[in-house]
A and B are shown apart, each in its own frame.
Chain A
Amino acid sequence: MAYIEFKDVVKRFGDNTVLDHISFGIQQGDLVTLLGPSGCGKSTLLRCLSGLETVTEGKIVLDGRDVTNVPASKRNIGMVFQQYSLFPNMTVEQNVAFGLKMKKVDPATIERKVAEAIAMVELSGKEKAYPSSLSGGQQQRAALARSIVTEPAVLLLDEPLSAIDAKLRKALQSRIREIHQELGLTTIFVTHDQDEAMVMSDVIQLFHSGRIEQAGSPVEVYTSPVSEFAASFIGSYNQLSASDFTALTGVPVPQGNVVAIRPETIGISRERPDEKDAHLVDGTVVDSTPRGNVLRYTVRLEGGTTVFVDVLFRSFHMFDRGNKVYLSLPERDCLVIPVNAASARTAA
């Protein structure tokens, strides 16, 4: 049995259904990411688990105990908010000690645990500082220390790094992952950033319009998207309609599907390659964009379809705009996936 179970959870705000019959389980000690675009219901599910929102229908079970109607203050769940939410009138030390005082822990233990938690988030020396004198990253680390010091049954992180600059965000991602491994704490992380989800998670639950679109390990979700939405949200997949793909390669694809191909799996060359098990198409380079160590080409194919091709950024092997090129699309990387119902509705 899973450590946390969502059983057919529905959440409505008036006529708006934000969570639509969500059911899944989380194993103890896992770091699970709820990933999805804004408004897909991921934060609402987190708040339902925390007790800050009530569920309209369904049940939430934590460690074998039905917590659906238990107040937030009685669930023993730690939470880090996007806006830090440190208490402005208290120092870092007092903020971190707050939860332990609520639990009536003796002062000597409080002192020891607070010092340990502050050291764990690398904020030693800032014990007496007020939140207003800390940077965003320091405030978020103080909030993290405040949440883990009470040794909660689950740690919830609601887009905790979205207001922090990219460099610091990467450092904090690593630190959160390390702390999770050190403490073995069951952790649920909410984000709309797929790169962050890939780095952090044991399991990704991909949300779309109040439902779970796909669940699995980061590699599974990245390499085997189950729907058009999953392919578009994860990994910048190129998506070719069934008719376009058939016209380009001659391979029939059933209607109601798209063919998704990751940009880094496509080969690009000036000469026609002699490759087996790959579809060869020709096109024209219309743009190239450096993306760190990867160069992304935009190539226009026959019929006007454009695809992205990612290659390692090597200056000796570059194509200019207007160059005629051959693309090889490996057969095993051309994934035929259904157009999901939600996307079809949107397109219509």
Chain B
Amino acid sequence: MSSKTKAVKAAAPGKKTPLAAKIFLGIVGLYLLVPFLTTLVYSLFVEWTDVLPSGFTLRNYAELFTNSTFWFSIGRTLILCLVSVAITIVLLLLAMYVVVAVNRRLGRFMQFVCMIPYALQGVILSIGIISLYTGTGTILSNRMFMLFGAYTILVLPYIYQGIRNALNAIDANMLIQAAEMLGCGRFRAYVQVVLPNIVSGILVSSLLAESIVFGDFVLANNIAGTNYQNIQVFLQANMARSSGLSSAIVVVIFLVVAAVTAVVLKLQHTSQKQ
């Protein structure tokens, strides 16, 4: 059973999804899958110059999976995702503690600051970071750390929105006050009472952030290029070589993102059940 169907059943127990809705969902799902399926088919055939493709092959995948550069690119991209998203979550949770429990007026300032990255083009952000930190001789002049920093900024608005909405949904300030009246300090209340209730919101926003980092080419190419090659830069480097191979790379990227999404959704489901 798909997660969508489960969600519908959970929302309206005992009611069946109408057939028309199922058909509509099926059509939309198929439409959204068309680009992926076409790419998958393209990556599995020798050539596709006529109406139908010809010559089934797994050569592209064999070549890809035996290429260590590919695996390193995948690994680097996952590390970039995890580290930058984790840094953003920790920084935002600390900042939002101040907003929720100490000074609520700072909320508007936080919102303004966190929305700025929306307006930043990737090229501008990458050039800005490079010109600021290159040659400073600090750890921040390292291209890898620059990339971590850049992604931390890039995902800031998405994770901020998720955390803020989750905090508003549970009326975090009121929960902290209730915990305070029971002898609990504010920060402890934030950690013990508020955070467990916004895990779901954090996971969903980190999922969105993860897909953004996975799909980025501009920042990775401008800041690190082949010094710290991520999967999109690897894809770009191989596009000219073989269209079949690049299709296989796209398919694998899709499957990796889908796998990460599945894990996060599973975690979310578990936390909701708890």
Binding site for B on A (CB under 8 A): 50-52, 71-74, 76-79, 81, 83, 85-89, 98-99, 102-103, 146-147, 150
Q: Are B174 and A146 in contact (CB under 8 A)?
A: no
Q: Are B174 and A98 in contact (CB under 8 A)?
A: no
Contacting residues, chain B, for A87 (C-beta < 8 A)? 175, 178-179, 193, 197
Contacting residues, chain B, for A86 (C-beta < 8 A)? 178
Q: Is B131 an interface residue (CB 8 A)?
A: no
Contacting residues, chain A, for B63 (C-beta < 8 A)? none
Within the assembled complex, what's the spacing in Å between the Cα atoms of A73 and B180?
5
Beta-carbon nearest neighbor of A147 in chain B: B181
Contacting residues, chain A, for B26 (C-beta < 8 A)? none
Q: Is B183 an interface residue (CB 8 A)?
A: yes
Within the assembled complex, what's the spacing in Å between the Cα atoms of A147 and B182?
7
Q: Are B182 and A150 in contact (CB under 8 A)?
A: yes
Contact partner of A81 (CB less than 8 A), chosen from B174, B183, B193, B196, is B174
Q: Is B185 an interface residue (CB 8 A)?
A: yes
Within the assembled complex, what's the spacing in Å between the Cα atoms of A52 and B174?
10
Contacting residues, chain A, for B179 (C-beta < 8 A)? 87, 98
Q: Are B178 and A85 in contact (CB under 8 A)?
A: yes
Q: Is B243 an interface residue (CB 8 A)?
A: no
Contacting residues, chain A, for B184 (C-beta < 8 A)? 73, 98, 102
Q: Are B181 and A79 in contact (CB under 8 A)?
A: yes
Within the assembled complex, what's the spacing in Å between the Cα atoms of A88 and B175?
9
Within the assembled complex, what's the spacing in Å between the Cα atoms of A317 and B182?
57
Contacting residues, chain B, for A146 (C-beta < 8 A)? 182
Contacting residues, chain B, for A78 (C-beta < 8 A)? 181-182
Q: Are B183 and A102 in contact (CB under 8 A)?
A: yes
Contacts A83-B171, A85-B178, A87-B178 given: A103-B183 contact, CB under 8 Å? yes
- Contact mask for chain B residues 37-73; partner A; CB cutoff 8 A; 1 contact, 0 none: 0000000000000000000000000000000000000
Contacting residues, chain A, for B103 (C-beta < 8 A)? none
Interface centre among A50, A51, A77, A87 (most CB of B within 10 A): A87
Q: Besides the contacts A73-B186, A87-B175, what 5 more A-B pairs have beta carbons closer than 8 Å?
A: A52-B181, A83-B171, A86-B178, A89-B196, A98-B182
Contact partner of B174 (CB less than 8 A), chosen from A51, A76, A83, is A83
What is the distance, in angstroms, from A76's C-beta to the closest C-beta of chain B?
A: 8
What is the distance, in angstroms, from A85's C-beta to the closest C-beta of chain B?
A: 4
Contacting residues, chain A, for B274 (C-beta < 8 A)? 89
Beta-carbon nearest neighbor of A104 in chain B: B183
Contacting residues, chain A, for B170 (C-beta < 8 A)? 88
What is the distance, in angstroms, from A104's C-beta to the closest C-beta of chain B?
A: 10
12 inter-chain pairs at a CB distance below 8 angstroms, sorted by A residue, are A50-B181, A72-B181, A73-B184, A73-B185, A73-B186, A74-B183, A85-B175, A87-B175, A98-B179, A99-B183, A102-B183, A147-B181
Beta-carbon nearest neighbor of B170 in chain A: A88
Residues facing A in B130-179 (CB within 8 A) are: 170-171, 174-175, 177-179
- Contact mask for chain B residues 182-216; partner A; CB cutoff 8 A; 1 contact, 0 none: 11111000000100110000000000000000000
Within the assembled complex, what's the spacing in Å between the Cα atoms of A147 and B175?
14
What is the distance, in angstroms, from A200's C-beta to the closest C-beta of chain B?
A: 21
What is the distance, in angstroms, from B181's C-beta to the closest C-beta of chain A?
A: 4
Within the assembled complex, what's the spacing in Å between the Cα atoms of A330 and B253?
90
What is the distance, in angstroms, from A105's C-beta to the closest C-beta of chain B?
A: 11
Beta-carbon nearest neighbor of A52 in chain B: B177
Contact partner of A99 (CB less than 8 A), chosen from B174, B175, B182, is B182
Within the assembled complex, what's the spacing in Å between the Cα atoms of A73 and B181?
5
Within the assembled complex, what's the spacing in Å between the Cα atoms of A260 and B181?
42
What is the distance, in angstroms, from A28's C-beta to the closest C-beta of chain B?
A: 20
Beta-carbon nearest neighbor of B193 in chain A: A87
Interface centre among B178, B182, B185 (most CB of A within 10 A): B182
Beta-carbon nearest neighbor of A74 in chain B: B183
Contacting residues, chain A, for B171 (C-beta < 8 A)? 83, 85
Residues facing A in B204-240 (CB within 8 A) are: none
Beta-carbon nearest neighbor of B184 in chain A: A102
Contacting residues, chain A, for B186 (C-beta < 8 A)? 73
Within the assembled complex, what's the spacing in Å between the Cα atoms of A71 and B186?
10
What is the distance, in angstroms, from A51's C-beta to the closest C-beta of chain B?
A: 8
Within the assembled complex, what's the spacing in Å between the Cα atoms of A81 and B178?
8
Within the assembled complex, what's the spacing in Å between the Cα atoms of A58 and B180?
23
Contacts A87-B175, A88-B197, A89-B274 given: A52-B182 contact, CB under 8 Å? no
